[in-house]
């Protein structure tokens, strides 16, 4: 596994994942900016993504949908904040409504990607910044993660056949 570390930071409302890849930053960059490449990894195999619009330039937007096993569609969108080929990009990622337009009522995540050359390959740092406290801050900082997971464990025990 090339994932080096994952770090949730409740105070900063971020989740950071660092990975080391064997190819140079220019190759990794293409996976982000070329929609046909992006489609091959963005959605899980059971929910493949189709990008109908992808404008990797500051202020540029993307539209995509992921198709589920029953043919159901989950729409999403990106809005590019900044790009610096081939070392960094930043975009907002959010839910779309049934027509694929940004759903203002749903939470957005700002994703920052840093690509650094490292020993002939790339060290990729992806930081997701959650827009609302409710999404993450409260979850971890207030100890809910532990509190709730133990509640779930207790429940699992209670639901197990006696």
Partner 1 sequence: MVARQVDPDRVFAALADPTRRDIVTRVLREPASVSTLAAGYAMSFAAVQKHVAVLERAALVTKQRRGREQLVRGEIDTVRAVGRLLDDYEELWRGRIGRMEELLAEDSRKDTP
Where do contacts with partner 1 occur on this chain (CB under 8 A)? Answer: 1-3, 6, 8, 15, 17, 19, 21-23, 27-28, 31, 37, 40-42, 44, 47, 66, 68, 74, 76, 93-95, 106-107, 109, 124, 126, 128, 132-136, 138-140, 142, 144-145, 147-149, 151-152, 154-155, 158-159
Q: How many helices (H) and strands (E) does the chain have?
A: 4, 8
Quick check: 63 and 92 in contact, CB under 8 A?
A: no
Phi, psi of 125 (to 5 degrees): -115, 120
Complex with partner 1: residue 55 or 138, whichever CB lies closer: 138
Task: Name the minimum Å distance from CB 82 to partner 1.
Answer: 20
Phi, psi of 92 (to 5 degrees): -95, 140
Listed in order, strand segments (DSSP E) in 22-158 are 49-54, 61-67, 73-84, 88-95, 108-118, 121-130
Task: Name the minimum Å distance from CB 40 to partner 1.
Answer: 6
Complex with partner 1: residue 27 or 81, whichever CB lies closer: 27
Task: Name the minimum Å distance from CB 83 to partner 1.
Answer: 18
Task: Name the minimum Å distance from CB 54 to partner 1.
Answer: 16
Complex with partner 1: residue 66 or 89, whichever CB lies closer: 66
Complex with partner 1: residue 106 or 118, whichever CB lies closer: 106
Task: Name the minimum Å distance from CB 58 to partner 1.
Answer: 22
**Run of H or E including 155:** helix 144-159
Query: How far is the C-alpha of 114 from the C-alpha of 132, rounded, in Å?
Result: 23
Complex with partner 1: residue 82 or 155, whichever CB lies closer: 155
Q: Which residues of 128-158 are buried (b: 16+ CB within 10 A; e: fewer)?
A: bbbeeeeebbebbeeeeeeeeeeeeeeeeee
């Amino acid at each position: 596994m090339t994932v080096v570390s994952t770090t949730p930071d409740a105070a900063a409302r971020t989740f950071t994942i660092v990975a080391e890849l064997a190819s140079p930053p220019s190759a990794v960059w293409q996976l982000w900016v070329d929609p046909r490449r992006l489609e091959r990894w963005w959605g899980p195999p059971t929910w493949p993504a189709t990008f109908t619009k992808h404008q990797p330039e500051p202020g540029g937007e993307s539209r995509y949908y992921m198709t589920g096993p029953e043919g159901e569609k989950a729409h999403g969108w990106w809005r590019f904040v900044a790009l610096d080929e081939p070392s960094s990009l930043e975009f907002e990622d959010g839910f779309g409504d049934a027509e694929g337009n940004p759903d203002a009522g749903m939470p957005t995540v700002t994703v920052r990607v840093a690509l650094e050359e490292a020993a002939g390959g790339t060290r990729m740092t992806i930081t997701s910044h959650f827009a609302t406290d409710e999404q993450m801050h409260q979850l971890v900082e207030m100890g809910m993660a532990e509190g709730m997971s133990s509640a779930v464990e207790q429940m699992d025990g209670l639901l197990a056949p006696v």
